[in-house]
Amino acid sequence: MSGLSPIGNQGLKTGGSPRRFGSDAAVRWLLPVLSVAGAVILSRVLEFYWQSTPFTSLFICAVMISAWFGGFGPGLLAVTLSLLAFDYYFLPPFYSFAVEWNATPRLILFAAAALMVALLAASQKSRTESLGRTRDDLAAKVQELNRTNEALHAENTERKLAKEKLQRSEAYLSEGQRLSHTGSWAWNVKMKENVFWSKEHFRIYGFDPETSSGDYQAARDRIHPDDALRFDEAVERAIRERKDFETNHRVILPSGAVRHIHTTGHPVFNDAGELIEFIGTTMDVTERKQSDALLSSEKHILEMIAGGAPLQAVLNELCSAIDEQSPGSISTVLSLDLERQKLWPVAGSGVPEGWARSISPLAIGPVAGSCGTAAPGPR
């Protein structure tokens, strides 16, 4: 029984529409008959009681009502029925459909007037219905536009929130890279040119992120000459083997400062499996390198002292450690001779020989240079 229910329901649904449609059509075509009949009855009543015969106006009203509510077809039927009733009841010979010759113009004029009224009423009805449909369509369009506008507004709000979130993420990432001295980059393999540098990557290589274009060759030229070949070989090997690469090298900034760089790269392939670029990070490890070097030098110097190494060797090693921590500087140790009021160089392997001879010995006094002025005088 349950399997028959959908079929039965469908039959009820599909059967209701034709009956309703037939009912509407019957009313439209029955209306001319009723309106013309009403016009005949009313005309006869008025003629009998008031000796008034406004039958033309009543038939015109019947035609107008039929055409307005039923359309041009029912209106045309009302015109036909009105002509027959007009001829039968109100034109001689009465109660006959025959027409006298002298009454023909009157019948023709009535037919033309009734037909014009039917056309005008049907046309007005059509325009009114068209305006109604247009109004409904316009209202639907307005509602659709309102929904579209609300959707666009919601999408714009979401996009704005997503943009703000992305900007915050980029700001956090940029600040995190600045604090950790880590930059990010992307390098096109075919063009051998950078396609992206983060701001911290610009700063690591000594470029201004606001004015520099991040040219790869310009950055490559800043790699220390002793490390450049090893860096190029690491990159070429990674391209050839289509694998990650990792390298440590130094860069020389325009100021002469040397930075130790640790770089890692990861290959990126397209859908066809072709290597198109490398992406990676660059970390400034200068402070860590300096700390490691200082700790190593300190350990080595302590081992020299513990092993009974000569004082001059220990002092030379100390000067070398200082020079390594301060690139571009030269350190030396001077021995103070209080009796003769002189300073004598005793250590400093990086001191030029000519300069060492020129200050051997160096007099102590208020105008004897920075070392001579700083040295204590006799007590």
Which of 22-26, 118-122, 213-217, 283-287 is the least confident region? Answer: 22-26
Confidence at residue 173, expressed as pLDDT on a 0 to 100 scale: 63
Confidence at residue 268, expressed as pLDDT on a 0 to 100 scale: 94
pLDDT bracket for residue 27 (50, 70, 90): confident
Could you tell me which of 41, 118, 109, 114 has the C-alpha nearest to residue 74? 118
**What percent of the chain has a predicted confidence (pLDDT) above 70?**
79
- Could you identify the residue written with the tokens 């006869």? 44
196-210 residue pLDDT tens: 888 888 888 999 888
Fill in the amino acid letter for 165.
Answer: K
117-136 residue pLDDT tens: 878 777 877 888 888 888 88
Confidence at residue 3, expressed as pLDDT on a 0 to 100 scale: 39
Q: Whole-model pTM above 0.85?
A: no
Fill in the amino acid letter for 297.
Answer: S
Q: Is the separation of the CB atoms in 348 and 319 below 8 Å?
A: yes
pLDDT bracket for residue 174 (50, 70, 90): low
Q: Between these two residues, 250 and 88, which has the higher pLDDT value?
A: 250
- Is it true that domain 181-284 has CATH number 3.20.20.70? no
Confidence at residue 16, expressed as pLDDT on a 0 to 100 scale: 44
Domain ranges of the chain: 16-130, 181-284, 291-374
61-84 residue pLDDT tens: 888 888 888 888 888 888 888 888
